[in-house]
Chain A
């Protein structure tokens, strides 16, 4: 249970779980929703997998993640969202910034 609480403590990981509620998604597709590097995203996925909250399936070069929440864990995620512990509203998305736009901004 400790691993579950650790996994749910981070808003990015909770947002991943929110996104996976709609159905299984590819790792790249999930990463598009966040403004973090791929290794950071992989670390988040690893923590969620370790807590047994998501399941990964490799098809060729694509890794597809699917939700693996029990009802209790589902309720915990919803509770964290209800009390506003850093989960963004559905549909809301942090603007992505990449190196090119950053450079353009400085020019």
Chain B
């Protein structure tokens, strides 16, 4: 089921429907219930992160140049961060007053983004330096000896 969710066609469809939904909310916000629509947009944005983060670790495959175990660990880490961030984001928009919620949004997105980016960069650079040092066989040997 998740494989189907992660297919390029379905990814485009879900991204398109998300943008369309946000656009509808933005229009509705201008016309009626501005506060409620702004709150709903915040919750929807948070839920989008939850759904994306939840399926992210399933997308891992052994293809590619990096060590499979490290790729798997990074995708799991990023998935958990996105899910927790999305839950925090949605909760903030449900519970707090709108002014406080919009201020807090930045402080939820920033650390989560930095954590995921930092971890991904660390994996990328360590894989690149390992590739420069040796062959994929030596990478696999390191991977096995790690266990």
Contact = CB atoms under 8 A, between A and B. Distances in A.
Given A24-B69, A52-B1, A71 B57 contact: yes
Interface stretch (B75-83, B91-99, B110-118, B121-129): B75-83
B143 A74 contact: no
Interface residues of B, number: 25
B54 A71 contact: yes
B2 A22 contact: no
Nearest to B55: A70
A23 to B, nearest CB: 3
B147 A22 contact: yes
B68 to A, nearest CB: 5
B60 A68 contact: yes
Interface in A53-89: 55, 57, 64, 66-72, 74
Contacts of B132: none
A55 B3 CA distance: 11
Nearest to A3: B1
Looking at chain B's contact residues, the main secondary structure is: helix
B119 interface: no
A66 B1 CA distance: 17
Contact of A69 (B3, B57, B67): B57
Contacts of A66: 60, 62, 68, 72
B58 interface: yes
Contact of B68 (A23, A68, A69, A70): A23
B58 A57 contact: no
A70 B60 contact: no
A57 B72 CA distance: 15
Given A23-B147, A52-B2, A72 B57 contact: no
Interface of B: 1-3, 53-58, 60-62, 67-70, 72-73, 76, 79-80, 83, 143, 146-147
6 contacts: A23-B147, A57-B62, A67-B60, A68-B57, A71-B54, A74-B79
